[in-house]
Amino acid sequence: MANEAVAPLEICVKGATGQPDVLGDCPFCHRVTLTLEEKGVPYSLKLVDLSNKPDWFLQISPEGKVPVLKVDDKWVPDSDVITQILEEKFPDPPLAPPPEVASVGSKLFISFIKFLKSKDPNDGTEQALLDELRALNEHLKEHGPYVNGEKVCAVDLSLGPKLYHLEIALGHYKNWSIPEEFTYVHNYLKLFFSRESFVKTKAAKEHVVAGWASKVNS
């Protein structure tokens, strides 16, 4: 790939909860590392213990948030901003989605979190999540196998990590799984989760479970 000759970019990502020297479970960090992998851009990870943030990290990320990527000697926060910069700086292969698919699945993550944290089975949070999954299933049925057809785009790289969290956290904390009727969503997960870029950059399941523990118990 044309981008392989670039000097490795430094990126700060979450270290695992309780095991900060191991890759942690942040879906926004995962989105950025997936983008780097799909574009063939070399990078080096700096793992950050978010429960005990080191001074060097707070100097480059005063809000204490990850991911943060060093580009042209500047540390840039926010996965939206970072992935946009990567698209502009490394346009090959192009990952920018066409406008008509840019918001596909955009409400899924917040629906998942509300259902995960819910203590009331009748509060509508499960139904809201099912509605979002149904909408994604219909979109993939018509336009799949990925969000924009045959090739992965930036929407997949944002959505995939969130669905990975959804599947693991809801399975563990609620004994809940995506209904079998959403065939196209299941096919999508199988396809996306088996990509080399995903396998290489995902956090281990136990770290995803540990990462959500405080949210579930709050």
Same domain? 85 vs 106: no
Q: According to the model, what pLDDT value does residue 1 have?
A: 54
Number of domains forming the structure of the chain: 2
8: Cα separation from own chain's centroid: 21
Using the structure block, give the residue that is written with the tokens 């990290």: 57
- CA triple 14-20-22, angle to 5 deg: 85
Residue 150 has pLDDT above 80, yes or no: yes
Q: What is the CATH number of the domain that holds 72?
A: 3.40.30.10
Residue 97 has pLDDT above 80, yes or no: yes
3-state secondary structure (DSSP) of residue 12: strand
- Asked if residue 186 belongs to a domain, the reply is yes
Q: According to the model, what pLDDT value does residue 117 have?
A: 96
As a whole number, mean pLDDT of residues 17-23 equals: 95
- Asked if residue 61 belongs to a domain, the reply is yes
Please give the share of the chain, as a percent, with pLDDT higher than 90: 94
26 flagged as catalytic? yes
Average predicted confidence (pLDDT) for the chain: 96
As a whole number, mean pLDDT of residues 144-160 equals: 98
CB 177 within 8 A of CB 167: yes
Spatial separation of the C-alpha atoms in residues 82 and 86, rounded to whole Å: 6
As a whole number, mean pLDDT of residues 20-47 equals: 97
Domain boundary, last residue among 42, 60, 89: 89
pTM: 0.96
Same domain? 62 vs 115: no
Same domain? 33 vs 68: yes
Residue 218 has pLDDT above 80, yes or no: no
**pLDDT one-digit tens code per residue, 71-93:** 999 999 999 999 999 999 999 99
Q: Which domain holds residue 208?
A: 99-217
* pLDDT band with cut points at 50, 70 and 90 for residue 21: very high
| φ, ψ of residue 72 in degrees (nearest 5) | 50, 45
Residue 2 has pLDDT above 70, yes or no: no
Exposure letters 41-60 (e unless 16+ CB within 10 A, then b)? bebebbbbbbeeeeeebeee
Catalytic residue selected from 12, 26, 29, 153: 26
CB 172 within 8 A of CB 165: no
**pLDDT one-digit tens code per residue, 23-35:** 999 999 999 999 9
21: Cα separation from own chain's centroid: 20
Burial bucket for residue 88 (CB in 10 Å: 0-12, 13-18, 19+): exposed
Same domain? 116 vs 195: yes
- Asked if residue 173 belongs to a domain, the reply is yes
Same domain? 37 vs 103: no
* pLDDT band with cut points at 50, 70 and 90 for residue 217: confident
Same domain? 157 vs 68: no
Domain boundary, last residue among 36, 59, 89: 89
Domain boundary, last residue among 89, 116, 150: 89
